[in-house]
């Protein structure tokens, strides 16, 4: 795996430097890279999606394990480095991994095809939340799991429980479709350049049976409720119609469990 000196040399070779606007903080803690890849269970012949590979430190580990790898990289400088380093050993998709805030790019979907795949990535901070939701919902039958490094603030929202500040639409959509486990907490020193925040590694794995078969309706409900999270349910959705067991019109959205919100989405037309 690459050292900081090697990463700097690769960047210098193409006249590049870490771009703050793209959230380029390269993961340099080799033990944590190994830990994340081990948790994913990928190996010989596994189709792996890596978003934001940078100079390819984690890609090295995936190549060594015999994975078939699709890389999604927005930065043209990083793409130049990846082409030099890996050539035709990987499939490189240059551009944004997202077509919109709620959809994965068509180019990336074309590279993956209809095959099952696993996301293993040190995710760019700007793309993390929409990408995780899209894979957990729209691609639930194809994505075998998401093994990611993200900002701890985002990780706390993914793992949140009702009646907490971090409980949100992101929480509900992912937990309705997947189980979530924290693999590790990473201090800033695990990255170069060092970010100002702590990060987390998460395993996000599809449930054997999702809590909802209509994540679109659940997302619509959550967007309505959590933009008015301090109001009572009755003031948001009205007082007509049935409510899930244990739910009253006086409750605030953040007090409802994921299961109750799933049931409310079945009962409510917004």
| Tens digits of residue pLDDT in 219-235 | 999 999 999 999 999 99
Question: HSE (CB half, 13 Å, CA atoms) of 222?
Answer: 26
Q: Are residues 171 and 255 in the same domain?
A: no
Range of the domain at 225: 215-267
Average pLDDT over every residue of 120-146: 95
For 207-266, write each residue's pLDDT tens digit: 999 999 999 999 999 999 999 999 999 999 999 889 999 999 999 999 999 999 999 999
* Residue 139 pLDDT grade (very low, low, confident, very high; cuts 50, 70, 90): very high
Q: Are residues 77 and 157 in the same domain?
A: yes
Say which CATH number the domain at 225 has. Answer: 1.10.8
Looking at the chain, the whole-number percentage of residues with pLDDT higher than 90 is: 94
For residues 14 and 46, give the distance between their C-alpha atoms in angstroms, rounded to a whole number. Answer: 31
Q: Are residues 172 and 101 in the same domain?
A: yes
Name the H helices within 41-160.
57-64, 76-86, 106-112, 128-137, 152-159
Domain closes at, from 153, 171, 206: 206
Q: Are residues 83 and 183 in the same domain?
A: yes
Position 125 scores a pLDDT of 87
Q: Are residues 156 and 219 in the same domain?
A: no
DSSP 195: P
Domain closes at, from 206, 226, 250: 206
Q: Are residues 164 and 86 in the same domain?
A: yes
Looking at the chain, the whole-number percentage of residues with pLDDT higher than 70 is: 100
For residues 85 and 89, give the distance between their C-alpha atoms in angstroms, rounded to a whole number. Answer: 9
Q: Which residues pair with 179 in a beta bridge?
A: 205
Q: Which residues pair with 180 in a beta bridge?
A: 204
Q: Which residues pair with 100 in a beta bridge?
A: 103
Q: Are residues 16 and 36 in the same domain?
A: yes
The domain tally of the chain equals: 2
Q: What is the CA radius of gyration of the chain?
A: 20
Position 198 scores a pLDDT of 97
Domain closes at, from 206, 238, 254: 206
* Residue 21 pLDDT grade (very low, low, confident, very high; cuts 50, 70, 90): confident
- Enumerate residues 6+ apart whose C-beta is below 8 A from 260: 244, 246, 247
For residues 251 and 221, give the distance between their C-alpha atoms in angstroms, rounded to a whole number. Answer: 15
Whether residue 133 is predicted with pLDDT greater than 80 in this model: the reply is: yes
* Residue 116 pLDDT grade (very low, low, confident, very high; cuts 50, 70, 90): very high
Q: Are residues 195 and 223 in the same domain?
A: no
Position 1 scores a pLDDT of 77
Q: What is the mean pLDDT of the chain?
A: 96
Q: Are 86 and 10 in contact (CB under 8 A)?
A: no
Say which CATH number the domain at 93 has. Answer: 3.40.50.150
Q: Are residues 115 and 179 in the same domain?
A: yes
Q: Are 48 and 135 in contact (CB under 8 A)?
A: no
Q: Are residues 200 and 261 in the same domain?
A: no
Q: Are residues 115 and 222 in the same domain?
A: no
For 29-79, write each residue's pLDDT tens digit: 999 999 999 999 999 999 999 999 999 999 999 999 999 999 999 999 999
Position 23 scores a pLDDT of 85
Q: Are residues 169 and 242 in the same domain?
A: no
Q: Are 144 and 115 in contact (CB under 8 A)?
A: no
């Amino acid at each position: 795996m690459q050292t900081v000196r090697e990463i700097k040399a690769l960047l210098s070779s193409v006249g590049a430097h870490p771009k703050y606007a793209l959230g380029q903080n390269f993961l340099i803690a080799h033990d944590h890279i190994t830990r994340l890849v081990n948790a994913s269970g990928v190996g010989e012949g596994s189709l792996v999606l890596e978003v934001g590979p940078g100079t390819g430190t984690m890609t090295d580990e995936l190549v060594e394990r015999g994975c078939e790898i699709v890389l999604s990289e927005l930065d043209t400088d990083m793409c130049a480095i990846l082409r030099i380093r890996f050539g035709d050993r990987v499939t490189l998709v240059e551009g944004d991994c997202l077509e919109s805030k709620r959809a994965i790019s068509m180019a990336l979907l074309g590279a993956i095809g209809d095959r099952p795949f696993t996301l293993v990535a040190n995710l760019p901070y700007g793309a993390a939340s929409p990408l995780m939701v899209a894979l957990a919902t729209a691609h639930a039958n194809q994505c075998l799991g998401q093994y990611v490094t993200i900002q701890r603030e985002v990780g706390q929202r993914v793992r949140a429980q009702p009646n907490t500040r971090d409980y949100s639409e992101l929480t509900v959509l992912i937990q309705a479709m997947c189980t979530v486990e924290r693999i590790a907490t990473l201090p800033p020193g695990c990255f170069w350049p060092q970010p100002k925040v702590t990060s987390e590694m998460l395993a996000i794995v599809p449930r054997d049976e999702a809590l909802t078969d209509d994540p679109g309706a659940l997302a619509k409900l959550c967007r309505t409720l959590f933009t008015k999270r301090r109001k009572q349910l009755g003031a948001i959705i009205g007082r007509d119609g049935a409510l899930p067991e244990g739910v009253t019109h006086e409750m605030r959205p953040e007090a409802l469990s994921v299961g109750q919100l799933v049931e409310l989405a079945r009962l409510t037309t917004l």
